[in-house]
A and B are shown apart, each in its own frame.
Chain A
Amino acid sequence: MSPLSRRQLLGLGLGASAAAVLAGCATPGTTSVNTLPTVPPASGKVRLEYWAWLKGIDRVTELYNRTQDRVHVEAVFIPGGNAGGYQKLYSALAAGAGPDIAQVELRSLPEFLLANGVVDLSRYGVDQYEELYDPTLWNQVSYTGGVYAIPQDSGPMGMFYQPAVLDQVGAAVPATWEEWAEVGAELKGAGVLMDSFPLADASPFAAYATQAGASWFTAEDDGWVIDMTDDATLGVAAFFDRAIDDGIVTTAYGAYTPAWFSAAADGRIASVATGSWGDALIEGVSGAAGRWRVAPLPTWGTGYASSFLGGSTAAVLANSEHPAEALDFAVWMTTTEEGVNALIEFCGIGWSPARDVVGTLREQPSAFFSGQNYAQEVFVPAVQESSQNQDWSWWPVTQQSFNILSDGFRGKASGGTLVDAVVQAEKDIVAVMRNKGLSIRKAGA
């Protein structure tokens, strides 16, 4: 090698790294794909990548691929949401790469919007599919006149309980939260917990508040309006403050942790208020067959019959080269009889987001739950439009807000209250939003 070419090589290396520095200095996610022209459908072969944490999703995509001669969808597993999946997605987006479709929780979708990470599907004709979907969920993927993902799975809440444990104190299944607290007090006498209340995860609390009629964030023309200290939210916080103080619920562990499974198997915990996806997890409790049933979620004096806990979407990500094909796949997966059945059978989704397709398995009684047809009895009524809070909207810093809330909730262990934690969290969340430059004001201010 001559000295000249060596110098050229060095220059090339330096030039490349300088370019990388310059490109890297632009903070990721500062340009929007939704202002660029739309990408027309391709005419040749198309390969789509779908990153999701649903187990068995590869079998669903396989089913789709068999119906296609042009489009091939490849499923890639990522860790669940904040356990590492989003971290992976965000860093891929920051690097200008990433899959065509990604599993994103309903509550996290606005954060992907803020990061300019998702494609506005209304530019690809998604409106024609609106009537196929559950209206509550459609609300939760629609922001500022756009539609940013396809709902793929949800979890209407109900109460799973052990009849034999309730019988120990001769209690009936509680229909209201007040009755729930009374039953809990009786069970406490028998050394049994009613449920658990996770201090480390604020999402069940948010779901209870939603059920009671709260609407923490509203998108107005002049920016976000926050209202976390309304009567509904503070009422729920005070209720669980009492439940924890009275020892009706434990805060030592959350549902579906190893400690919870052990308590559930021993009959030391009577019930769990949870999303419909809880059925698959409860089937994992040792020796649980025939010992659990499902009832509607107890109700507050105000608000709604149920609430959604969890739920995710298939979002088309900003760097996709084939948004139109990606949308077609997402709609097939979530609205056809074939797609929904596959999602239930292979992935165990909590509840189908399609208005009219519940899934064949969910039309029959369940042997595990003593022949109870709980899907039809409990969850079909729970997803009705009138059973759900239509005013609830997620916001662009949901995860950080939930962390702020749960950091406050942890103070409960050292003498704090949930009520104080919520009041403080509202102030902190306003500061977080303002730091990002977003306009936000307190309701009524």
Chain B
Amino acid sequence: MSASSGATRRAPWVLLAPFLALFLLTFLVPIGMALVSSFTKVTRGGLFGEAGVVTEFAGLDNYAQVVGDPNFVASIGRMFLFGIVQVPVMLILCTVLALLLESASAKWPGAFRAAYFLPYGVPGVIATILWSFLYVPGLSPLIDVAEVVGASPDFLWADTVLWSIANIVTWSYTGYNMLIVIAQLKSIPVELYEAAKVDGASPLRVATSIQLPLIRPALLLTAVFSIIGTLQLFAEAQVLQRVAPAIDSQYTPNLSAYTTAFAYNDYNVAAAQSVLIALVAFTLSIVFLTVTNRKSA
């Protein structure tokens, strides 16, 4: 009896072991290493370190260096601006698409759903290459058409390139977020629609009084994902860099950490940058959730 109860006690751990091992090795250990690394400093004497290499505890030196780097701070500010504009635009767009596709009068909703979701299947790097052909002067048919009517848009200059990236991100992720919202819409009980019908509610009234309040959790989820995704923006900026001189090596926080680690070989400062990015994403998500919860309470 006692042996079998011991087995019962062990069973969950045995079953969890594969997950825990991977979680530990690929998640907790790297985070721990990044934290340790961010508090370490390597100094090299002489011309190339031939006079000795010293590894020591740095305290907050690396963090001070990161916060004191105007380009890194600017990259976080840039992502704020990006998020404040792009996330609402994308969420409104995906909600409207979801409501339209779930309305009773929608034709071929399945086909449209697949079509809107399709861009998500295109990897970010490929999507950026595709879009860059529409952005580069001399290649872009969009610019050629605009020139016919006397406009000369520049999609890649300092003031515009951020919105060119926002466009790619919106194109890629709207369909994905739409699918999350649709899933939530499908879980609304049919009785509510029937009751609304009996009361003579218009489709617009159904959307504002039933559907929107009930898909709130899905919208909150997609909003948090989008905020975190914005701070992690990397591939689009890195690929577009080849054709857009305005994108520097620290355009987004992640690009900055990547450059510091693997182009400048400064793993310790890169670790400090990564920890700060994670902290900012964490704080933003918490603030967002607190604010939205307070409103609903």
Q: Which residues of A contact B (CB under 8 A)?
A: 3, 6, 10, 13, 17, 20-21, 24-32, 82, 86-87, 90-91, 94, 110-111, 113-116, 143-144, 198-200, 219, 223-224, 251-254, 257-259, 261-263, 396-397, 399-400, 403, 406-407, 410, 413-414, 435-439
Once A21-B33, A26-B55 are accepted as A-B contacts, the answer to whether A224 and B44 lie under 8 Å apart by CB is no
Interface positions, chain B 132-167, Cβ under 8 Å from A, are: 136-139, 154, 157-158
**A115 with B46: CB separation less than 8 A:** no
Proximity string of chain B (261-293) to chain A, C-beta cutoff 8 Å, 1 when within and 0 when not: 011111110000000000000000000000000
For B242, the closest partner residue in chain A by CB is A257
**A110 with B263: CB separation less than 8 A:** no
Proximity string of chain B (203-243) to chain A, C-beta cutoff 8 Å, 1 when within and 0 when not: 00000000000000000000000000000000000000011
Proximity string of chain B (33-58) to chain A, C-beta cutoff 8 Å, 1 when within and 0 when not: 10011001011111111100111000
**A200 with B40: CB separation less than 8 A:** no
The residues of B that contact A263 with a CB separation of less than 8 Å are 138
- Which of A10, A17, A437 interacts with B44 by CB under 8 Å? A437
List 12 extra interface pairs beyond A114-B44, A259-B138, A436-B43, CB under 8 A. Answer: A21-B33, A27-B268, A87-B262, A94-B267, A114-B48, A199-B245, A224-B47, A257-B136, A258-B243, A407-B71, A410-B158, A436-B44
B contact residues, range:
35 or more
**B245 with A198: CB separation less than 8 A:** yes
Determine whether B259 belongs to the interface, using a CB cutoff of 8 Å to chain A.
Answer: yes
Q: Report the bound CA distance from A31 to B46 in whole Å.
A: 15
Quote the shortest CB–CB distance from A200 to chain B (angstroms). 4
Q: Report the bound CA distance from A245 to B266 in whole Å.
A: 37
**B46 with A223: CB separation less than 8 A:** yes
Determine whether B179 belongs to the interface, using a CB cutoff of 8 Å to chain A.
Answer: no
**B46 with A396: CB separation less than 8 A:** no
10 A-B pairs with C-beta separation under 8 A: A30-B42, A86-B262, A94-B267, A143-B48, A252-B157, A258-B136, A262-B137, A437-B43, A438-B44, A438-B45
For A93, the closest partner residue in chain B by CB is B265
The residues of B that contact A143 with a CB separation of less than 8 Å are 47-48
Quote the shortest CB–CB distance from A369 to chain B (angstroms). 24
Determine whether B12 belongs to the interface, using a CB cutoff of 8 Å to chain A.
Answer: no
**B43 with A396: CB separation less than 8 A:** no
Quote the shortest CB–CB distance from A317 to chain B (angstroms). 14
**B42 with A27: CB separation less than 8 A:** yes
> Which of B24-32, B110-118, B192-200 contacts the other chain?
B24-32
For B6, the closest partner residue in chain A by CB is A3
Q: Which residues of B contact A (CB under 8 A)?
A: 10, 14, 17, 21, 24-25, 29, 32-33, 36-37, 40, 42-50, 53-55, 65, 71, 136-139, 154, 157-158, 242-243, 245-250, 258-259, 262-268
Quote the shortest CB–CB distance from A263 to chain B (angstroms). 7
Once A17-B24, A86-B262, A410-B158 are accepted as A-B contacts, the answer to whether A396 and B48 lie under 8 Å apart by CB is yes
Q: Report the bound CA distance from A436 to B43 in whole Å.
A: 5
The residues of A that contact B40 with a CB separation of less than 8 Å are 25, 27
Q: Report the bound CA distance from A224 to B51 in whole Å.
A: 13
The residues of A that contact B265 with a CB separation of less than 8 Å are 29, 90, 111, 114-115
Q: Report the bound CA distance from A435 to B54 in whole Å.
A: 13
Q: Report the bound CA distance from A253 to B136 in whole Å.
A: 10
For B33, the closest partner residue in chain A by CB is A24
Q: Report the bound CA distance from A28 to B265 in whole Å.
A: 9
**B14 with A6: CB separation less than 8 A:** yes
For B7, the closest partner residue in chain A by CB is A3
**A410 with B245: CB separation less than 8 A:** yes
The residues of A that contact B266 with a CB separation of less than 8 Å are 436
9 closest A-B pairs by beta carbon, nearest first, are A437-B43, A262-B138, A87-B262, A200-B245, A113-B48, A403-B249, A30-B53, A400-B264, A259-B138
**B263 with A82: CB separation less than 8 A:** yes
Q: Report the bound CA distance from A199 to B262 in whole Å.
A: 22
**B137 with A259: CB separation less than 8 A:** yes
Counting chain A CB atoms within 10 Å of each CB, which of B10, B47, B264 scores highest? B47
Quote the shortest CB–CB distance from A437 to chain B (angstroms). 3
